[in-house]
Amino acid sequence: MGPNKFQDVTVILFDLDNTLINTKGADRLACEQVFQYLQNCNVRRSTAREAVDKFYSFVRETPQDPSNEDGDVDAWRLMLWKQALGPGLSARASTAYAIWKEIRTRHLCLGAELEDLLLELRKCYKLGLITNGPSSAQWDKIRRVNASNYFDVIIVSGDVKHAKPSPAIFEEAFRRLDASSLECVMVGDRLDTDIKGAMKANCAVTVWVSDSDASLEDVHPKPDFKVSHVREILDLLPESKGFSSLCKNRTLGVFHSLRDDAQQWRKDH
């Protein structure tokens, strides 16, 4: 299967979390700052580590109230900190959450290299951003990275009441971009939402962003292509588009790989 699949593409759709911004990495770094805060409060090291590990697990599994996507995200995540800290430390939950939120937000960024990439792509393609999550939480991140500077259309599941992998959220993007599904590429890190949804919506091409060792033959659903970083999609696009050598040769230094980040997290533990 070769890059010819891109010949008729006019639209590139991107996922946000862990595709364009390293949300998992930001979560880990923020948890580490809370760990340091708890130690400064003379909380035993093992107790502090257990608490931040629990919260990280909680927030990755259920970042918002699963029974109410429009609910108060701050209240939900504060409750997760209270659960993670337990009765003996629950009084420190408000400060822990404030530290976690501030550090996490600071590290949610595109970086200059990725901004350059999106500007280059926008010269030749319409760009869309499709992200799952509650409206308030996702738009906070979207505004922070100035996504409106790079995307023609931004769709949050909390706004349209449809979430990936439902074809409906993709169809909303097609409508707003005045494009057919057969003109669209979907780029995302999750097989179960980004890739599955794009396939159900009949997108022309699916690109899975992952630094795992899994081959395309070993995963389901099976995307058309796999890349380690978003930057590598330039290698798939037709040469006739004429992207600058500057853009093709730059590396995504800010968006460090999740695998490298995970190794550092294990080392710190």
Determine if residue 161 is left, alpha or beta; phi over 0 gives left, psi from -120 to 50 gives alpha, anything else beta.
Answer: left
Position 64: which residue type? Answer: Q
- Give residue 267's pLDDT: 42
Indicate whether 82 pLDDT > 80.
yes
Record the tokens describing residue 266, joined without a space.
């294990």
Position 171: which residue type? Answer: E
- Which carries the bigger pLDDT value, residue 251 or residue 104? 104
Backbone angles phi, psi at 256, to 5 degrees: -70, 155
Mapped to the 3 state alphabet, what secondary structure does 240-264 carry? HHCCCHHHHHCCCCCCCCHHHHHHH
- Give residue 178's pLDDT: 97
Count of the separate structural domains present in the chain? 2
Indicate whether 193 pLDDT > 50.
yes
Supply the CATH number for residue 72's domain.
1.20.120
The per-residue pLDDT for range 181-190, each reduced to its tens digit, is: 999 999 999 9
Record the tokens describing residue 26, joined without a space.
């930001």
Supply the CATH number for residue 140's domain.
3.40.50.1000
The overall average pLDDT reported for the chain is 88
Determine if residue 94 is left, alpha or beta; phi over 0 gives left, psi from -120 to 50 gives alpha, anything else beta.
Answer: alpha
Indicate whether 168 pLDDT > 80.
yes
- The answer to whether the peptide bond before residue 221 is cis (omega within 30 degrees of 0) is yes
Mean pLDDT within 41-52: 98
Least confident of 67-71, 147-151, 195-199, 217-221: 67-71
Same domain membership, residue 214 and residue 98 = no
**Residues of the domain holding 57:** 24-107
- Give residue 240's pLDDT: 65
